[in-house]
């Protein structure tokens, strides 16, 4: 990329970063928008809307069967979207690795950093939450693991039994490590370092797939697959298998109609596969339980995004400066301080949820762990809308670097100069964020009521039983809007 291109793009990024959140390496900045009312009033109004949705759910919902569309798969089967997507994602992965090792070692000029940190990570969350589970069918790693499994099976190799108590805890640890690298560890923004990390990650995942079986590990230990399969419970497109034959290779399905299981879907004959529309958030109740560690995975996703937003505010900067002023050691180890803040926020969200579950367990007369497992999926809509509202501009604006780094991965000046577009009004961004946050929390309240109704049997009892969780969601609404609102330059 020429010097002129860099200058134009850098100027556009600087202007956008001054005007909009979710830009560059920091995912939140000031929004150039003057709010007509204080930000805390938005949080209060949003919290009241979420609170009002609880009685609306209690008196507006019944325990009847939820509606879904007919089978859409026969209409799209002939398009071969899976094969096209797999070929494209494999090509982009190769470009990212080659560019990471041999291209320009700058974040905005290299395909490794743009394709992985921006297009892949942010796009994966947004597409999984708003559309469907696309990743399972276009993942080069999943395809390679399934090929390796067939090869080893042909040679008579046996797999190890996966310890049930581990659940998705391997994915939880990887999520925390991944987001820590994204938000705290600066070398992860260096293309060559990122390329090395991705190669190491691919190698470790293939070893684990060979040891425990591809489908078992994908459902529990492959970070990006677990991430996609978690957020897709919020999405409107649902995979299902009609009249399944044989056991689930992922050891995941417990119902006859296997919903949301890509392993069973791939194993089924084409005429037995199904794809249908459902209401947003319906997958929270329709798909199998999250399993051990699943609730922690959801809370970790939520907490890390909140930390990312808060870490870019003036209040955080003042807090950090105050702590650094009290400790000379921390002034030379800022990453240690940021790691501590991230741990406190994620741990605080988890602890608060457990306290609420302790109250829920009293109403339902079950153990705290059982209540936590039962209601953890209801936090998925909240995690999904936080992720989308915080990162969507990051993808829209920084994603415009993608054509340059893909078509010219080694920066040989093969494409003409161009700038990026960054003209969405600040007011539009802010109200879109507010709408997303409130909508997601209301969906979560309705999902929680349906789960409570299964236990209590009567709407009024279900409303009383889930009241601690509703209050927690109201608090999450206020905190989320407050964090986003700190980006308003007029406040």
Q: How many CB atoms lie within 10 A of CB 88?
A: 11
Cα 153 to Cα 147: distance, rounded to the nearest angstrom: 10
Residue 122 confidence (pLDDT) above 70: yes
The string of pLDDT tens digits covering residues 434-471 is: 899 999 999 999 888 888 877 777 777 778 778 888 89
The string of pLDDT tens digits covering residues 149-161 is: 999 988 988 889 9
Q: Which of 299, 302, 297, 285 is nearest to 447 (CA)?
A: 285
Are 241 and 273 spatial neighbours (Cβ–Cβ below 8 Å)?
Answer: yes
Average of per-residue pLDDT across 347-375 = 88
Per-residue pLDDT band for 7 (boundaries 50, 70, 90) equals very low
Q: Which of 85, 79, 144 is nearest to 120 (CA)?
A: 85
Encoding tokens for residue 34?
């003057």
pTM to 2 decimals?
A: 0.88
Cα 194 to Cα 106: distance, rounded to the nearest angstrom: 12
Residue extents of the structural domains in the chain: 3-485
Average of per-residue pLDDT across 403-432 = 83
- pLDDT on residue 488: 59
Residue 431 confidence (pLDDT) above 90: no
Written as one string, the DSSP assignment of 267-316 is: HS-GGGEEEEEB-TTTHHHHSPP--TTHHHHHHHHHHHHHHHHHTTSHHH
Q: Which of 317, 311, 404, 313 is nearest to 118 (CA)?
A: 404
- pLDDT on residue 423: 76
Residue 21 confidence (pLDDT) above 90: no
Residue 22 confidence (pLDDT) above 50: no
Residue 344 confidence (pLDDT) above 90: yes
- pLDDT on residue 11: 40
Residue 364 confidence (pLDDT) above 60: yes
- pLDDT on residue 27: 54
Per-residue pLDDT band for 422 (boundaries 50, 70, 90) equals confident
Are 221 and 170 spatial neighbours (Cβ–Cβ below 8 Å)?
Answer: yes
Encoding tokens for residue 461?
């009892």
- DSSP state for residue 31 in the 8-state scheme: B
- pLDDT on residue 33: 64
The SS3 assignment for 347 reads helix
- List, in order, residues 6 or more apart from 479 with CB less than 8 Å away: 43, 306
Cα 104 to Cα 359: distance, rounded to the nearest angstrom: 55
- pLDDT on residue 462: 77
Cα 83 to Cα 88: distance, rounded to the nearest angstrom: 9
The string of pLDDT tens digits covering residues 229-252 is: 999 999 999 999 887 777 888 877
Q: Which residue has the higher pLDDT, 416 or 403?
A: 403
Q: What is the mean pLDDT of the chain?
A: 85
- pLDDT on residue 210: 95
The string of pLDDT tens digits covering residues 281-307 is: 999 988 888 888 999 999 999 999 999
Of 115-124, 258-267, 417-426, least confident by mean pLDDT is 417-426
Strands annotated E in 369-450: none
Residue 258: phi and psi, rounded to 5, are -80, 110
Per-residue pLDDT band for 255 (boundaries 50, 70, 90) equals low
Per-residue pLDDT band for 105 (boundaries 50, 70, 90) equals very high
pLDDT-above-90 percentage for the chain: 45
Q: Which residue has the higher pLDDT, 77 or 212?
A: 212
């Amino acid at each position: 990329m020429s010097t002129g291109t860099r200058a134009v793009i850098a100027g556009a990024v600087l202007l956008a970063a001054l005007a909009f959140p979710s830009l560059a390496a920091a995912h939140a900045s000031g929004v150039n928008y003057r709010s007509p009312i204080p930000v805390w009033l938005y949080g209060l109004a949003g919290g009241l809307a979420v609170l009002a949705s609880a009685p609306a759910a209690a008196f507006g919902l019944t325990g009847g069967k939820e509606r879904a569309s007919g089978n859409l798969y026969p209409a799209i089967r002939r398009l071969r979207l899976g094969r096209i997507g797999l070929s494209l994602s494999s090509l982009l992965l190769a470009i990212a690795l080659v560019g990471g090792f041999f291209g320009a070692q700058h974040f905005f000029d290299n395909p490794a950093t743009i394709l992985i940190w921006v297009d892949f990570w942010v796009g994966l969350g947004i597409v999984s939450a708003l559309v469907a589970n696309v990743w399972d069918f276009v993942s080069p790693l999943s395809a390679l693991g399934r090929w390796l499994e067939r090869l080893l099976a042909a040679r008579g190799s046996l797999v190890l039994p996966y310890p049930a108590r581990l659940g998705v805890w391997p994915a939880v640890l990887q999520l925390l490590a991944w987001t820590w690298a994204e938000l705290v560890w600066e070398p992860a923004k260096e293309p060559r370092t990122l390329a090395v990390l991705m190669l190491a990650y691919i190698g470790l995942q293939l070893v684990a797939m060979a040891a425990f079986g591809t489908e078992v590990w994908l459902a529990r230990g492959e970070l990006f697959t677990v991430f996609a399969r978690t957020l897709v419970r919020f999405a409107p497109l649902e995979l299902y298998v009609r009249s399944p034959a044989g056991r689930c290779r992922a050891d995941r399905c417990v119902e006859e109609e296997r919903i949301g299981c890509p392993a069973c879907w791939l194993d089924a004959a084409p005429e037995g596969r199904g794809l249908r529309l459902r209401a947003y958030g319906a997958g929270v109740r329709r798909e199998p339980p999250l399993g051990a560690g699943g609730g922690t995975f959801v809370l970790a996703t939520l907490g890390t995004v909140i930390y990312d937003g808060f870490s870019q505010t003036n209040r955080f900067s003042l807090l950090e400066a105050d702590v650094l002023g009290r400790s000379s050691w921390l002034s030379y180890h800022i990453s240690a301080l940021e790691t501590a803040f991230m741990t406190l926020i994620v741990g605080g969200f988890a602890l608060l949820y457990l306290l609420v579950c302790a109250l829920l367990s009293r109403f339902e007369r079950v153990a705290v762990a059982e209540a936590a497992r039962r209601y953890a999926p209801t936090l998925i809509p909240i995690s999904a809308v936080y992720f989308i509202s915080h990162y969507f501009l990051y993808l829209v604006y920084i994603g415009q670097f993608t054509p340059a780094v893909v078509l010219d991965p080694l920066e040989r000046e093969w494409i003409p100069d161009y700038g990026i577009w960054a003209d969405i009004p600040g007011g539009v961004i802010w109200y879109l964020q507010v709408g997303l946050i409130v909508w997601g929390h209301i969906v979560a309240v309705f999902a929680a009521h349906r789960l409570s109704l299964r236990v209590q049997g009567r709407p009024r009892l279900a409303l009383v039983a889930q009241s601690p969780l509703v209050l927690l969601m109201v608090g999450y609404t206020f905190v989320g809007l407050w964090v986003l609102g700190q980006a308003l330059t007029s406040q």
